[in-house]
Amino acid sequence: NAGVMQNPRHLVRRRGQEARLRCSPMKGHSHVYWYRQLPEEGLKFMVYLQKENIIDESGMPKERFSAEFPKEGPSILRIQQVVRGDSAAYFCASSWFSYTEAFFGQGTRLTVV
């Protein structure tokens, strides 16, 4: 049973470009969470999604960031017009149902140059 798969592992974007981060949850998991980790910082919650629904996006910046989890395919975190401050590790986690153990992926390290 493969774990949470994130790709790409590393992503370099120039300022103003778009970044698309993908997350395939563990088999059977329908809950997906995105977190951002800055160097020497903890993980900051961004968004919680279930299939085709955004449940909680209280941690998402109001502009440029969006997330989706379609009926088919991976969850996508999209950052438009990236800026240097978006450089961070972005982690996705999934769980089977609510209030259960969440498993994290290896993360996508975004560097904006």
**Quick one: CA dihedral 51, 99, 105, 79, positive or negative?**
positive
Our CB check for other proteins shows the closer of 15 and 51 to be 51
| Smallest separation, CB 89 to other proteins (Å) | 9
Contacts of 41 (CB under 8 A, 6+ apart): none
| Residues in contact with 14: Cβ distance below 8 Å, sequence separation at least 6, in sequence order | 82, 112, 113
Q: Point out which residues bind other proteins (CB under 8 A).
A: 4, 6, 31, 33, 35, 41-45, 48, 55-56, 58-59, 91, 93, 95, 98-99, 101-107
What is the smallest separation between the CB atom of 58 and other proteins, expressed in angstroms?
8
